[in-house]
Amino acid sequence: MVQFDLAARPLRELNAALHALPLNTNETHWEIINPDGKHAIAAGLDAPVTVEIKGNAGYYCAGMNQVATVVVHGNAGVGVAENMMSGRVHIRGDVSQSAGATGNGGLLIVEGNASGRCGISMKGIDIVVKGSIGPMSAFMAQAGNLVVLGDAGEALGDSIYEARLFVRGTVKSLGADCEEKTLGADERAILAGLLAEAESDASVDEFRLYGSARKLYHFHLDNADAY
Amino acid sequence: MSTTPHRTLPKYSATFDRHTISEIQRAAATGIYDIRGGGAKRKLPHFDDLLFLGASISRYPLEGYRERCGTDVTLGTRFAKKPITLKIPVTIAGMSFGALSGPAKEALGRGASLVGTSTTTGDGGMTPEERGHSTILVYQYLPSRYGMNPDDLRKADAIEVVIGQGAKPGGGGMLLGQKISPRVAKMRTLPEGIDQRSASRHPDWTGPDDLEIKIEELREITDWEKPIYVKIGASRPYYDTALAVKSGADVVVLDGMQGGTAATQDVFIEHVGLPILSSIRPAVQALQDLGMHRKVQLIVSGGIRNGADVAKALALGADAVSIGTAALIALGDNDPRFEAEYNALGSTAGAYDDWQDGRDPAGITTQDPELASRLDPVLAGRRLANYLGVLTLECQTIARACGKSHVHNLEPEDLVALTIEAAAMAGVPLAGTNWIPGKSGF
């Protein structure tokens, strides 16, 4: 295991070292100590390594992640795993706004709560939040799955496209063009798979599914009061 | 004896002119606002309202066709490990694959590369053809993040964080369904044929403090190699430029309201934002106040048409200019040979601006395969290169006449204004006076 002390060496050095790893590297396990909320820790990784961050991370931790596994043993700031392409990002604590924003793939797991705009403009990422999520989550969500074991805040899925939103608890309100959907066999299988990956024992039967009503897919004057 | 009453000619109202009346009639008939492409079409204070003084007894000119007048510009010298150097101070503005056809994007890359300058992606991501045909490619980082991925980010020569554009500061976009081909839909991860909204705000940051962190992230992901531009629509140019610098930009791109868009409401284009003439000096002032003029480069755009416009923008303090609408015209947009087809669309060559509806006879603002095939990217690229060459030669001609061995040596002192408004906006004297409104006594 490689240990990197962010109190002693600069972030730029860490990220450069991680980016330089070849795909067949044998330095596959990294431990980052003293992160102290620094921003962009482990951003832009593209090698099959595991990076464990021992403490709290700042903004954009694991941003644009590809292939790698990043575990934060603490909380993470704004935009954790933003635009993630693949791999796995696991946050042991809570996360701030815009978690998984615009993510294209991979799995983001949040053990605690996520603030507002969780999954905003998500494009294929899977997100599992074991706590609750804040307002305007999944705004303009295009593709992928958002699983919430707790509650969802106001305007869930506003202007949503084709993403699926699974919520176990209450939904304070739905956003424009978001509606409850039937939880069919395909969706149940997707949900069960994500719960298993996130090591949750929640029952699929406890969830409701929300998605696009597809009424705003074409701009029309009759929908003006919805905009 | 019969008497014929004397009648005056019908009198049109200056307030309710013919176009205004037709717009009211159109709105009443359809119930929807007018959407179009392009930039502001109204008469605005512009570079035409400025003149160069040229050399005189107190200024010594350079010999045309003989003495060298440099045109190169290096962008990204502040933080980037790999700044980019352009041979000419004219770049191609961001325009998306989706808004434009594949051959049009290829032609832009070919034309820019022939003369040693850059082209820019747009909303929707980078296509392999575009990367392949663009020697220097700037990758736009937009609120929608359509097609955004770290591989393309690393393939880019520079990154442009787009906050706004001159045609619609504060507005997002809407690519109408008829332009959402299977390929465009796939690149944007959206269903085919639906109207695609491009967000007006970035999804994971708000305000300049966040922007600074976002830029830091982009630098970390690309190992601090790429110049990072911040593009703003001209609305509060002094403060926005200062905040972009504060946020860590290498380059500020400032787009005036004459700058084009693929599709926006006409009322937005014509009534929001500032003309570029009024925006350059405040932006330059912000850079000077921060001690960053020429250290953070300034690219300006919005209504650049000829080498005189380029020279005037540089004289006011810009490091380079960017063109969009003019580049499309050089490719073949609004070509009179398509007049019958423009007429069939209810327009005419020279006024066609329905870039949003995908039926462009010139094959540029379309995703229709038959229409797109009309544009030969090699020939169109050559036309663009010719045009860029003319812009550069014209700019050099003026610079030499002002005694400058490099176009960047042009300065406000080389200029006067023809109108009080232009004098105030550009911060140069009204012609024949020493008066700069707001700065010096008459």
| ipTM of the complex as predicted | 0.96
Question: Which residues 61-120 in chain A show a CB within 8 A of chain B?
Answer: 63-64, 66, 78-79, 82-83, 85, 97-98, 101-102, 104, 117, 120
More confident call, B65 vs B327: B327
What integer is the mean pLDDT of B209-230? 98
Position B271 scores a pLDDT of 97
Question: In this model, does residue B1 exceed pLDDT 60?
Answer: no
Chain A environment of B175 (Cβ under 8 Å): none
Question: In this model, does residue A227 exceed pLDDT 70?
Answer: no
Best residue in B34, B178, B186, B189 for a mutation probing chain A (most A CBs within 10 Å): B189
Position A129 scores a pLDDT of 98
End-to-end Cα, chain B, rounded Å: 63
What integer is the mean pLDDT of B230-243? 98
Q: What pLDDT digit, counting tens, does each position of B336-358 carry? A: 999 999 999 999 999 999 999 89
Q: Which two tokens stand for residue B309?
A: 């416009």
Dist. CA B272–CA B368, nearest whole Å:
32
Question: In this model, does residue B5 exceed pLDDT 90?
Answer: no
Position B278 scores a pLDDT of 98
Neighbours of B233 (CB within 10 A): 28
Q: What pLDDT digit, counting tens, does each position of A161-183 carry? A: 999 999 999 999 999 999 999 99
Domain with CATH 3.20.20.70 in chain B: 43-410
Q: A161, B148: Cβ pair inside 8 Å?
A: no
Question: In this model, does residue B76 exceed pLDDT 70?
Answer: yes
Q: A221, B220: Cβ pair inside 8 Å?
A: no
Give helix B237-246 / helix B280-289 axis angle, nearest 10°.
Answer: 40
Q: A40, B221: Cβ pair inside 8 Å?
A: yes
The whole-chain average pLDDT of chain B stands at 95
Residues β-bridged to residue A110: A91, A129
Q: B195, A159: Cβ pair inside 8 Å?
A: no
Pick the CATH number of B43-410 from 3.20.20.70, 3.50.50.60, 3.40.630.10, 3.30.420.270: 3.20.20.70
Q: A123, B189: Cβ pair inside 8 Å?
A: yes
Dist. CA A226–CA B213, nearest whole Å:
34
Q: What pLDDT digit, counting tens, does each position of B379-415 carry? A: 999 999 999 999 999 999 999 999 999 999 999 999 9
The band of B428, judged by pLDDT with boundaries at 50, 70 and 90, is very high
- What sign results for the dihedral spanned by CA atoms B278, B282, B287, B291? positive
> Going by C-beta distance under 8 Å and a sequence separation of 6 or more, which residues neighbour residue A135?
A116, A117, A153, A154, A155, A172
Q: Where would I find the H helices in A72-180?
A: none
Hey, where are the domains in chain A?
2-226
Q: A19, B145: Cβ pair inside 8 Å?
A: no
End-to-end Cα, chain A, rounded Å: 52
Strands B261-265 and B35-38: antiparallel
Residue identified by tokens 């000829």 is B306
Q: B145, A83: Cβ pair inside 8 Å?
A: yes
Chain B environment of A83 (Cβ under 8 Å): 145, 148-150
Position A225 scores a pLDDT of 67
What integer is the mean pLDDT of A178-193? 97
Question: In this model, does residue A135 exceed pLDDT 90?
Answer: yes
Chain B environment of A121 (Cβ under 8 Å): 144-145, 199, 203
Question: In this model, does residue A64 exceed pLDDT 70?
Answer: yes
The band of B149, judged by pLDDT with boundaries at 50, 70 and 90, is very high
Strand ranges of the sheet holding B320-323, from the earlier edge strand across to the other edge: B90-92, B320-323, B297-301, B251-255, B228-233, B158-162, B136-141, B118-120
Position A224 scores a pLDDT of 67
Position A58 scores a pLDDT of 98
Nearest by CB: A121 against B32, B199, B221: B199
Is residue B227 within 8 A of residue B76, CB to CB? The reply is: yes
Q: What CATH code is assigned to A2-226?
A: 2.160.20.60
The band of A156, judged by pLDDT with boundaries at 50, 70 and 90, is very high
Please tell me the number of Cα atoms within 13 Å of B113 on its side-chain side.
19
Q: Where would I find the H helices in A21-176?
A: none
Ranking A163-177, A203-217, B163-177 by mean pLDDT, the lowest is: B163-177
Rounded to a whole number of angstroms, the distance from the CA of A170 to the nearest CA of chain B is: 24
Position A74 scores a pLDDT of 98
Q: B195, A140: Cβ pair inside 8 Å?
A: no
The band of A211, judged by pLDDT with boundaries at 50, 70 and 90, is very high
What integer is the mean pLDDT of A16-27? 94
Instruction: Give me the amino acid identity at B12.
Output: Y
Dist. CA B183–CA B148, nearest whole Å:
15
Q: Find the helix or strand (DSSP H, E) in which A6 lies.
A: none
Position A226 scores a pLDDT of 63
Report percent pLDDT > 90 for chain B: 86
Is residue B243 within 8 A of residue B214, CB to CB? The reply is: no
Region for B170 from its dihedrals, namely left if φ exceeds 0, alpha if ψ lies in -120 to 50, beta otherwise: left
Q: What pLDDT digit, counting tens, does each position of B243-282 carry? A: 999 999 999 999 999 999 999 999 999 999 999 999 999 9
Residue identified by tokens 């946020």 is B247
Number of helical (H) and strand (E) elements in chain A, helices listed first: 2, 11
Per residue, what are the HEC states of B293-326?
Answer: ECCEEEEEECCCCCHHHHHHHHHCCCCEEEECHH
Q: What pLDDT digit, counting tens, does each position of B48-58 carry? A: 999 999 999 98
DSSP string, B34-53: -EEEES--S----GGGEEE-
Dist. CA B206–CA B216, nearest whole Å:
15
What integer is the mean pLDDT of A74-96? 98
> Going by C-beta distance under 8 Å and a sequence separation of 6 or more, which residues neighbour residue B184?
B97, B98, B124, B175, B367
- What sign results for the dihedral spanned by CA atoms B14, B345, B347, B301? positive
Any A CB within 8 A of B338 CB:
no
Q: B205, A79: Cβ pair inside 8 Å?
A: yes
Dist. CA B106–CA B119, nearest whole Å:
10
Position A220 scores a pLDDT of 72
More confident call, B310 vs B64: B310
